[in-house]
Structure 1
């Protein structure tokens, strides 16, 4: 065997021995890096500019750059756009910072909850729901239905997870199609 053939055979056998790493999904046209924090990745997503502006206005940037782990159900710009007219603008006013913080932290659960872990927790419950208390102290429930993950808030909003399991250095993001509303 020539040296060149040996090197090719060696590199092929080494490649076969190394498991393939699943790449994080793209979000808002941007790559999401598992080595970056929730905030560091979110600022690059064109679909989350409203969420990023809200996180900044609420003073939650430092918190969401912390060690976590956090699970964030991240509403898209389109989800914020479904709120009644003027809601986002009102929430972003400095005098409404406490209300904005409550809304945003109602999207955050302590821990690293992948879709598979959420589905397993739901399967193990009597009612088929995985129940969580958010950082705001509000309740969220989640379940798998027809192969999709859905999140339910206390106000009756049902958000569908459109992109699951976006790994971050300090947790995981699940992109959702509705803003979750605390009571």
Structure 2
């Protein structure tokens, strides 16, 4: 009985640690961020977003990226500097859970400021936050329905 309990606890511990994922792995596993993951790879930001963080990522879905005309998106994916600026504009240092979100300006990793509003739902610039608090080892993802661009 004792051996079985110990083996069960060890198996559970292994299962829990196997489920632990960083921001990138969490986005890949979600399945609705293929374009975002492709963009992160093209910009060379994979290692950063796999790093210790913590990060808060406002992650546009594939549908959000589909709102951008294909020629514009293709050009963005080829312009590493501009792509990096756009992607890092979606990232805020620290782990900010939905319950901690306040209206106002929030400094991004890119250096600009996102405008967060909480009237009639949470918005980040012109994007609606459609899902919150997708936990990762090194931060949290909040899903948005539009790609936001630095001003």
With the shorter chain as reference, the TM-score category is 0.7 to 0.9
| Larger helix share, 1 or 2 | 2
TM-score for both structures, normalised by structure 1: 0.70
TM-score for both structures, normalised by structure 2: 0.84
In 1, distance between residues paired with 2:27 and 2:72?
22
Structure 2 runs not aligned, ≥5 long: 1-18
> Partner of 2:4 in structure 1?
none
> Partner of 1:149 in structure 2?
122
> Partner of 1:15 in structure 2?
none
In 1, distance between residues paired with 2:93 and 2:82?
20
Q: CA RMSD in A?
A: 1.1
Deviation at 1:51, TM superposition (A): 0.2
Greater Rg over alpha carbons, structure:
1
> Partner of 1:170 in structure 2?
138
* Residue pairs, 1:1-183, within 5 angstroms: 35-93=20-78, 96-118=79-101, 122=102, 129-146=103-120, 148-152=121-125, 158-183=126-151
In 2, distance between residues paired with 1:52 and 1:58?
10
Deviation at 1:116, TM superposition (A): 1.0
In 2, distance between residues paired with 1:85 and 1:65?
28
**Contact 1:43 / 1:49 at 8 angstroms: preserved in 2?**
yes
Aligned length in residues: 133
Moved beyond 6 Å, runs of 4+:
none
